[in-house]
Structure 1
Amino acid sequence: MEHDNPRESPSKEGSSLPGEWPSSDLEQALSQILHRLSGQESRRGKARNAALQDLSALIDATEGDKLFEGTGTSLRGMPEMLGQVAKALEKYAAPPKEQGDRSDGHSEVAEKAAAVGLLFLKLLRKVEAAKNSLVCPAWKTSLRHLSGPIYIFAVTHSLEQAWTSPRSQDVAGEVLALLLHVTECGSVAGFLCGENEDEKGRFSVILGLLKPDLNKESWKNNPATKHVFSWTLQQVTRPWLNQHLERILPPSLLMSDDYQTENKVLGVRCLHHIVLNMPAADLLQYNRAQVLYHALSNHLYTPEHHLVQAVLLCLLDLFPVLEKALHWKGDAARPTTHCDEVLQLILTHMEPEHRLLLRRTYARNLPAFVKRLGILTVRHLKRLERVIIGYLEVYDGPEEEARLKILETLKLLMQYTWPRVSCRLVVLLKALLKLICDVARDRSLTPEPVKSALLEEATDCLILLDHCSQGQVKRLLARILQSCEDSKLVNCIRKVQQVSEGAPCD
């Protein structure tokens, strides 16, 4: 039986392993430990702990040159064997598919991660010692096999997640720092992309290790995989990301198409990073940009404000790519763009929206759409007018984010579409004066700096409105001064008059 053979059961020898191991014996010992870590025995606590103790004792008792060199007769050799052990350790410490609300399951994962992290620290210190001794060139090959699984382990447990604890995070952080030190990389980006042009990074290796867990059937088996993929992707920028588009786009689309909002947001952020760091020509090839646009725009019908915010930010950076494929001839009307379509949809949603978080999200991004379209915003002027007036009437809480952003939108709108503003003078003037009166009489918990910001923005809008109407606002406001007793409103009106008298009308 297996436990009758002393060579195949290092746990019987404990910490009394001899210092000089023949390579063949080391490979057999590691093979047995690998079998116990990856087989059915790994599910039993005693067998699991014994395998970890045996591996720790084996690493302690073996010199670096013996640990990393192969026999010459083995098909795999020690470096590849160590890589297999590292993969098994990383899988062993990974969180299971379903934890539910069981905190004891999370604590068990954190305990295993701390124990595995200590083993990785020992292995990396052996690599560092062999590297400094200059007598064992095999450490380079071993490090090449070890670095991928160790990196995935470190990222899995160094980020704050449900399965981590302060102890496991500290150990994983030490593992990542030591890995970067041993590989002579100044940052994670350098580790993934290479520190210089001649050096090949390890991003391709990491993607290869993650690939089996990133397909449609398996990507939810390990809840850490999506976070490792997303965090790693964020570290790689152009031009290093270009060559990996075919490997990073499908998982990102897969996550963004999930039914869980958390996964959708994660996938959209991955897509946004791809849009920012990929050449437009590559995104336009094979109609990829259109695929991204349809995948993103479908999320605009959701009531989840976090998701809407992520989608709008991504779309704003995708529009320039999509518009590269449009060709406008000066003798014809400009074609409707994807930005027009999205703004029309946003304004349709904004008018009846009553949920404050969604109102703030829409208002927060509205100025960027007006800037993007410029003078072409005139196509949406009627609906924008209704949205602006409606949003200025509603109190938005102590921070007044929505009304401040709506005032910013109004300023931009008047700057871009000033010839069409004079015919809307009365409606906009009433809305702005009503807002100033509401803020001046506000006795709520709104901080004074926020009130001052609202009054300042509203005053700036009045000044712009006066310029767009050739001084009509100044003449209308002069009548109000004769009967107005509110000091804040009087100050705003006087500021409008002073600025209007000294500034030329554009």
Structure 2
Amino acid sequence: MELDGAETSREGASLPGDRSPSALGHAFSKILLYLTGLEARRRNTRDISFKDLIALIEATECDRLFERGGEPHHKMPETLGEVAKALEKYAAPPKEEEGEGNGYSEVAEKAAEIGLVFLKLLGKVEDAKNSLVCPAWKTGLRHLAGPVYVFAVTHSLEQPWTSPRSREVAGQVLAFLLQITECSSVAGFLCGENEEDKRRFTVILGLLKPTLNKESWKNNPAVKHVFSWTLQQVTRPWLNQHLERILPPSLLISDDYQTENKILGVRCLHHIVLNVPVADLLQYNRAQVLYHAIFNHLYMPEYHLIEAVLLCLLDLFPVLEKAQHWKGDAARTTTHCDEVLQLILTHMEPEHRLLLRRTYARNLPAFVRRLGILTVRHLKRLERVIIGYLEVYDGPEEEARLKILETLKLVMQYSWPRISCRLVVLLKALLKLICDVARDPSLTPEPVKNALLQEATDGLILLDRCSRGQVKDLLARTLLSCTDTTVVSCIRRVQQDSEGMSYHGI
């Protein structure tokens, strides 16, 4: 079988001397048959076929390579497009379980070889473009651009199936493709910058569609990364016209059981939320579908996933609220932001894993800002979470406690009439934090300690304003018995700020 494959390839390589267009098409058809047949897995015949394909491309003049006759076998641009698709599929990585060990290293070798073939093809396109005797180069490029792009993105990203050599070659292929199409960026290439053809993104999605469905998307581990990376290159105002093509794959990827895929899918959905008009997202109840798909991920105890989900939801809330209308004579209905914050606080209260605590605390201020005065609905649970998080050391950077102090200040600003009845509890929590930081023997950097003391002192000042000067009176007794200079300094700052204040609200 190997000998037969070698003879077939060599027979194709000897055809450029024949001036018949059908002979040239026949030669490429034989190579195409080889690439899609069972012999494609044999290393010896593969090497011979690639060499003969490069030789065939080099020996064929550009005007013959892109000529288009009336008969089907005379349509060289379409034939070259099919060859490019076959080469791209041939270099695709296998399933993850099949690619372990030496499987992925073989894929990287094949990708480097196929990249050289694509560079030769693109070189012919450039020669045809610069000559005046081959006006059909645009047709040839139109058939080649999609498969070449998919190949380049598949192997230029750092993945298990790539190597430094394959990434270098794939990067050269992508750069050469942008150069020939006169596009300054990938986004320009996809959306039709300096080009009459503005359907490239549609073409790319069409190439990915057969392998990006529920039954087959895991057969090629690269397809999800190519889709995600390509999607995020396209922004307003071009993305909304492709919404029906990009939304189902994004939901499919986010609904997977693997955390890595969930995160990838959520980021795709987040990009859609940011770059599709509100009216299109509200049509056919799409925004609600997005919300429920993303909301369910909040039950997963994976901090990377939670971070991606919360960021996406914060940008989705304004879209969802566009569909709600509040009448001034009735109580405001519970919003999606209320629902999410309630669940977050439920998870935060007993959480002991530091990475998750930091993730929740990092995003909590944004939710308080989003709700504003409606934060009072969650005040009891917020109080418990704030006090509980202020008590726990959070490592050298103290990210969680700093964000909780920021949250406390926002809560006091938005719901200050309800703060005076919580004066004693919050005052104790802030004073305890200041004392703990002042006596902290750990390796916490001084700038971090200073930031904590600054934020806690600002919290005391704000608490004093909410309670109409009661904090100043209570601290005056503490000042008489306190011997720690750091704590005394913070208390004096509160007293100095409060002197001469009139308490008519914040």
- What amino acid is aligned across from residue 408 of structure 2 in structure 1? L
Aligned match of 1:297 = 295
| Number of residue pairs aligned between Structure 1 and Structure 2 | 504
The residue number in structure 2 matching 1:120 is 118
What are the Cα deviations for residues 144-183 of structure 1, in whole angstroms up to 9, with x where unaligned? 0000000000000000001011111111111100000000
3-state SS of the aligned residue for 1:235?
coil
The equivalent position to 1:336 in structure 2, one of 309, 321, 334, is 334
Q: How does 1:297-446 map to 2 (within 5 A)?
A: 297-446=295-444
1-side partners of 2:111 and 2:183: how far apart? 24
Match of 2:482 in 1: 484
Name the counterpart of 2:183.
185
Q: After superposition, where does 1:55-74 map in structure 2 within 5 Å?
A: 55-74=53-72
**Gaps spanning 5+ residues in structure 1: where?**
none
Amino acid at match of 1:347: L
The answer for the alignment partner of 2:216 in structure 1 is 218
TM-score (norm 2): 0.96
Whichever residue aligns with residue 237 of structure 2, its letter is P
Give the one of 472, 475, 487 matched to 1:474: 472
Q: By how many angstroms is 1:47 displaced?
A: 1.6
CA distance in 2 between counterparts of 1:98 and 1:461 reads 52
Moved more, 102-111 or 156-165: 102-111
The 1:297–1:288 alpha-carbon spacing in structure 2 relative to 1, beyond 3 Å, is same
Given that 2:15 and 2:27 are in contact with CA atoms closer than 8 Å, whether structure 1 keeps it comes out as no
What CA distance in whole angstroms lies between the structure 2 residues aligned with 1:19 and 1:184?
33
2:15 matches 1:9: no
Structure 1 residue 72: deviation in Å? 2.8
Which string of whole-angstrom CA distances, capped at 9 and with x for unpartnered residues, describes residues 466-500 of structure 1?
A: 11111111222122222211121112112212222
2:229 matches 1:231: yes
C-alpha distance in structure 2 between counterparts of 1:492 and 1:28, whole Å: 86
Q: Distance in 2 between matches of 1:76 and 1:383?
A: 74
Determine what percentage of the aligned residue pairs are the same residue. 78
**Counterpart amino acid of 1:257?**
D
* Structure 1 residues 76 and 350, CA gap change in structure 2 (3 angstroms): farther
When residues 110 and 366 of structure 1 are mapped into structure 2, their CA distance, relative to the original with a 3 A threshold, is same
5 Å-filtered alignment, 1:142-221, equals 142-195=140-193, 200-221=198-219
1:227-262 CA-to-partner distances (Å, cap 9, x unmatched) read 000000001111101111111111111111111111
**Any idea what SS the aligned residue of 2:345 has?**
helix
Is the contact between residue 26 and residue 73 of structure 2 (CA under 8 Å) also seen in structure 1? no
Q: Report the CA distance between 1:355 and its aligned residue.
A: 1.1
**Which of 23, 30, 33 pairs up with 2:31?**
33
How far off is 1:22 after superposition? 3.0
What CA deviation, in whole Å up to 9, does each residue of 1:305-348 have, x standing for no partner? Answer: 11111111111111111111111110110011011011111111
Assess if the C-alpha contact under 8 Å between 2:112 and 2:165 holds in 1. yes
Q: Does the 8 Å CA contact 1:375/1:417 hold for their aligned counterparts?
A: yes
Check whether the contact 2:2–2:42 (CA below 8 A) recurs between aligned residues.
no
Which amino acid counterpart does residue 352 of structure 1 have in structure 2?
A: P
Q: For residues 498 and 48 of structure 1, what CA distance do their matches in structure 2 show? A: 82
Per-residue displacement from partner, 1:327-372 (whole Å, max 9, x unpaired)? 1110110011011011111111111111111111111111010000
Gaps spanning 5+ residues in structure 2: where?
none
| Pair 1:95-2:93 in alignment | yes
Deviations 1:398-427 (A, max 9, x none): 111111110010011011001111111110
Answer with 374-383 or 481-490: which moved more.
481-490
Aligned to 2:52: 54
Deviations 1:36-82 (A, max 9, x none): 11111101111212211111111111111111113332356100000
Q: Which residue of 2 aligns with 1:23?
A: 21
Please show how residues 489-504 of structure 1 align to structure 2 within 5 Å.
489-501=487-499
Corresponding residue for residue 269 of structure 1:
267
Distance 2:320 2:102 in 1: 49
Q: How much has 1:501 moved relative to structure 2?
A: 2.2
Aligned match of 1:246? 244
Deviation for aligned residue 1:268: 0.6
- Residue 281 (str. 1) matches residue 279 (str. 2): yes
**Deviation, structure 1 residue 10:** 3.8
Distance 1:41 1:4 in 2: 9
Shift of 1:105: 1.2
SS at match of 1:444: coil
CA distance in 1, matches of 2:55, 2:335: 66
Give the root-mean-square deviation of aligned CA atoms: 2.0
Question: Does the residue aligned with 1:276 lie in a helix, a strand or coil?
Answer: helix
Amino acid aligned to 1:345: L
Q: Which amino acid aligns with 2:189?
A: F
Whole-angstrom distance in 2 between the partners of 1:68 and 1:118: 19
Q: In the alignment, residue 163 of structure 2 is paired with which amino acid? A: S
Q: CA–CA distance in 2 between the matches of 1:13 and 1:207?
A: 32
Distance 1:111 1:443 in 2: 55
Cα distance in 2 for residues equivalent to 1:197 and 1:338: 43
Distance, in Å, in 1 between the alignment partners of 2:432 and 2:2 is 86
Match of 1:293, SS state, is: helix
Moved more, 19-28 or 333-342: 19-28
The alpha-carbon deviation at position 198 of structure 1 amounts to: 6.2
Q: Distance in 2 between matches of 1:100 and 1:73?
A: 42
CA drift of 1:134 comes to: 2.3
- For residue 20 of structure 1, report the CA deviation from its aligned partner: 6.5
Give the residue type in structure 2 aligned to 1:95: P
TM-score, normalised to structure 1, is 0.96
- Tell me which moved more, 402-411 or 63-72: 63-72
CA distance in structure 2 between the partners assigned to 1:4 and 1:44 by the alignment: 12
Q: Which moved more, 1:433-442 or 1:194-203?
A: 194-203
Aligned-partner Cα distance in 1 for 2:311–2:4: 64
Summarize the Cα distance change of 1:43–1:197 in structure 2 as closer, same or farther, 3 Å threshold.
Answer: closer
The one-letter code sitting in structure 2 at the alignment partner of 1:86 is: A
CA positional deviation for 1:450: 1.1
Residue equivalent to 2:137: 139
